[in-house]
């Protein structure tokens, strides 16, 4: 790439922070991850037949993931190559624009802040509805503390999935890296579940997502502790308490920085799951804690900006 990839990352971060993914664009062309979802839904319908053996469904899931990753990576590489060649020396700007939708700094902030506002207004039903838009757990029976903890947990975990991990893969492999990551992450969210329907077919999606987030999750925890000016002890002690090999890292960092307990017993589809607590602070989180978490999140988002900007200036 003629210009340093850090400059591409910096412009993509700036576009995302300034605009997010505007609703006007979403209504007009949707979002690129919608294409991944359509492919995965079609593949699941065609290949994940209940009467097929466990082994056959697992092989089908591996095949679907291989096709998805190869197609996305190839298309992204060709597009990046053509832009850099045909629009030289300014093709990197177009690459940055195409990387922009894969980041979610603004979107995540804009989804979490209304939860704090609803709790501050005493509107618990509205806070539950807003929380239900960003978490998979049952929210109808959550009290104020449960809503606040759910919002903070989602903010911490999504900091990895929505910002650090895509940025990490962009810096390593350019446009193919960031979009292959988004394809894998989308697949994990759609089919990488442990329920009987997806356990075999979604195995490849879940394991690939675990691998792709291995380093970014730990980087996310580092950035959150730095931005939160603490949380290290909780991070080292509790990161492994999460069922995911990665999600516990940013959650433990955020719990430690805020002095809260996160995770714990959670309901999914009417069934309670007795998950371990992460952190040894307060359980009674509230709107002020969401505000503090958002401040830490913003600070943690600015650290990659500083790194990318400094590197681009040096090069």
DSSP string, the chain: --S-HHHHHHHHHHHHHHH-S-HHHHHHH--HHHHHHHHHHHHHHHH--TTS-HHHHHHHHHHHHHHHHHHHHHHHHHHHHHHHHHTTTSHHHHHHHHHGGG--HHHHHHHHHHHHHHHHTT-HHHHHHHHHTT-SS--TT--HHHHHHHHHHHHHHHHIIIIIHHHHHHHHHHHHHHHHHHHHHHHHHHH---STTTTTTTHHHHHHHHHHTHHHHHHHHHHHHHHHT--HHHHHHHGGGSSSTTTHHHHHHHHHHHTB-EE-SEEETTEEE-PPEE-SSBS---HHHHHHHHHHHHHHHHHHHHHHHHHHHH-
pLDDT band of 2, cuts 50, 70, 90: very low
pLDDT in tens, 61-111: 999 999 999 999 999 999 999 999 999 889 999 999 999 999 999 999 999
pLDDT at 180 over 90: yes
Mean pLDDT value of segment 104-119: 96
pLDDT-derived band at 311, boundaries 50, 70, 90: low
Confidence of residue 313 (pLDDT cuts 50, 70, 90): low
Q: Is 275's pLDDT higher than 90?
A: no
The residue extents of the domains of the chain are 5-314
């Amino acid at each position: 790439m003629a210009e340093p990839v850090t400059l591409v990352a910096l412009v993509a971060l700036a576009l995302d922070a300034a605009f997010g993914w505007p609703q006007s664009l979403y209504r007009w062309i949707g979002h690129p991850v919608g294409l991944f979802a359509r492919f995965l839904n079609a593949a699941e319908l065609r290949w994940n037949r209940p009467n097929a053996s466990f082994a056959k469904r697992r092989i089908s899931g591996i095949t679907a993931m291989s096709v998805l990753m190869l197609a996305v990576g190839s298309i992204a590489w060709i597009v990046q190559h053509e832009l850099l060649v045909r629009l030289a020396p300014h093709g990197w700007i177009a690459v940055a624009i195409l990387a922009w939708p894969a980041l979610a700094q603004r979107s995540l902030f804009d989804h979490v802040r209304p939860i704090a506002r609803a709790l501050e207004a005493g509107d618990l039903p509205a806070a539950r509805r807003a929380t239900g838009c960003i978490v998979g757990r049952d929210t109808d029976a959550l009290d104020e503390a449960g809503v606040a903890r759910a919002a903070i947990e989602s903010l911490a975990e999504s900091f990895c999935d929505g910002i650090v991990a895509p940025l990490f893969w962009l810096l390593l492999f350019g446009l193919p890296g960031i979009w292959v990551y988004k394809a894998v992450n989308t697949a994990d969210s759609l089919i990488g579940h442990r329920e009987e329907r997806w356990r075999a077919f979604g195995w490849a999606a879940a394991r690939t997502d675990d691998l792709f987030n291995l380093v970014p999750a730990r980087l996310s925890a580092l950035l959150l502790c730095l931005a939160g000016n603490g949380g290290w002890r909780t991070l080292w002690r509790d990161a492994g308490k999460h069922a995911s090999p990665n999600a516990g890292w940013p959650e433990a960092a955020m719990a430690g920085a805020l002095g809260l307990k996160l995770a714990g017993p959670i309901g999914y589809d009417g069934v309670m799951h007795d998950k371990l607590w992460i952190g040894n602070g307060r359980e009674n989180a509230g709107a002020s804690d969401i505000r503090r978490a958002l401040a830490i999140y913003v600070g943690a988002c600015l650290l990659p900006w500083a790194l990318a900007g400094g590197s681009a200036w040096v090069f």
